[in-house]
Amino acid sequence: MFKTCLDNVRANCPLIHNITNYVTVNDVANVLLAIGASPIMADEPSDAAEITKICGGLNVNIGTLNKRTIKAMFASAKNAAALGHKLLLDPVGAGASALRTKTALDLLKKFRFDIVRGNISEIKTLVLGSGTTKGVDADVADAVTDSNLDKAVAFAKSFSASKKCVVAITGAIDLVADARKCYVIRNGRAEMSRITGTGCQLSAVTAAFAVANPNNLLEATAAAVCAMGLAGEIGWSKMQDGD
């Protein structure tokens, strides 16, 4: 199934509208090209809503919010929802500031996102309405570990049921869940956390997998998470001393 999900991305080359942050926007575009999808970036409200109409999916990333991009997010999500496009929310830094938290919660209240992808602290913030993060990174106290895995899986399923979406909670151990089933994924490299943007890239890749596999969103999301982790492993294996 996972290979089929990737093959469908490459066969269909889905066009993904990304309203993402300026820290990682170039990497997000390039990872979509590498996986076999096509990126477009637009965050001017008068442009973004129109761009959404020609795409198959919308990736909303709140990493560097401002009044203009917030307006673009809502306008684009409205059009995407009306057209039946796949919507993904990446609540970067939810819990770190009132603006980020409110924007993420307002988006979830107004629109039904097909997928929500974030670290455990961000997802907990979406449930509790407030939270603690280390900037845009998860709080160590929230980390998913073998000792709390059953509880974390139950939390992921509960979140999915309440928001009517697939949820991807990523970290050292990744969880991808709907209301009934949860994939526990253990791959990738710890060193991936030493560069910025791997989560942002994963959200874009996940949106592409969702558009290319609209009837299998849980498996498509899990396949995207696996693909990103495997890419990290392959990249690490090819690194030379000093890289």
141 secondary structure, DSSP code: G
> Chunked in runs of 10, what are the mean pLDDT values of the chain (243 residues)?
94 98 96 98 95 97 96 98 98 94 97 97 90 58 87 97 97 96 92 87 98 98 95 83 69
Q: In what helix (H) or strand (E) does residue 115 lie, and over which residues does it extend? A: strand 115-118
Distances (CA, A) of 40 to 57, 62, 195: 11, 17, 23
Residue 243, in any domain of the structure: no
User: Do you know the residue count of the chain?
Assistant: 243
- For position 214, which CATH number holds? 3.40.1190.20
Distances (CA, A) of 13 to 43, 54, 135, 177: 22, 13, 34, 25
Contact in structure between 213 and 219 (CB atoms under 8 Å): yes
What is the model's pLDDT at position 60? 98
Q: How many CB atoms lie within 10 A of CB 120?
A: 24
What is the model's pLDDT at position 193? 82
Residue 240, in any domain of the structure: no
Q: Give the predicted TM-score (pTM) of the model.
A: 0.93
Residue 242, in any domain of the structure: no
What is the model's pLDDT at position 134? 54
Distances (CA, A) of 153 to 87, 120, 145, 148: 23, 11, 11, 9
* CB proximity list for 203: less than 8 A, separation 6 or greater: 20, 59, 61, 88, 90, 117
The per-residue DSSP string of 184-240 comes to EE--S-GGGGGSTTHHHHHHHHHHHHHHH-TT-HHHHHHHHHHHHHHHHHHHHHT--
Per the structure block, which two tokens stand in for 189? Answer: 């490299």
Residue 165, in any domain of the structure: yes
Among residues 175, 173, 139, 172, which one has the least CA distance to residue 156? 175
What is the domain count for the chain? 1
Range of the domain at 230: 2-235
